[in-house]
Amino acid sequence: MHKQIYVNLPVDNVERSKAFFTALGFGIEPRFSNEHAVSLIVGDNIYAMLLEKPMFQSFTPKPVANAKESTEVLVCLSCESRAEVDALVAKALAAGGRAPREPQDHGFMYGHGFEDLDGHIWELAYMEPNASPAAAG
């Protein structure tokens, strides 16, 4: 059986978040989306559930973190190339996101990322297929 992963993130406005992520090229899974939630297709069996804060709060007795003020999770996605990393960051910036730091080039690994409209940080990484940290350093 193939496992699936659903990363649940609280958002202020589902439609605004949906527009942001579709501008980056993410697909939407309509079976798991409604006026209070949108299901982003991140990859095979990988989804990000963007839930309006009251809906998100219904799943936990703990307070919901404000991602613009604190960080609870860093979502990291692998990319096929350095160009894909840079292109996704450029799309995020054009759609209203921001880059929380400069790109990181470690030789065998290249990374950059963006902060979405609700402050969640999405790290993007490309790893050279035939390199390892030990071989690179």
- Which CATH code of 3.10.180.10, 2.40.50.180, 1.10.10.10, 2.40.30.10 fits the domain covering 1-64? 3.10.180.10
Q: What is the pLDDT of residue 13?
A: 97
Q: What is the pLDDT of residue 133?
A: 59
Same fold, 1-64 and 65-137: yes
Give this prediction's pTM: 0.86
The answer on pLDDT for 51 being more than 50 is yes
Between 30-34, 72-76, 133-137, the lowest mean confidence (pLDDT) is in: 133-137
Sorted by where each begins, the domain ranges of the chain are 1-64, 65-137
CATH code of the domain made up of 65-137: 3.10.180.10
Q: What is the pLDDT of residue 131?
A: 72
pLDDT interval class at 31 (50, 70, 90): very high
Q: What is the pLDDT of residue 2?
A: 77
d(CA 114, CA 123): 7
The residue among 77, 135, 83 whose CA lies nearest residue 106 is 135
Rg of the chain over Cα atoms, rounded to whole angstroms, equals: 16
pLDDT interval class at 136 (50, 70, 90): very low
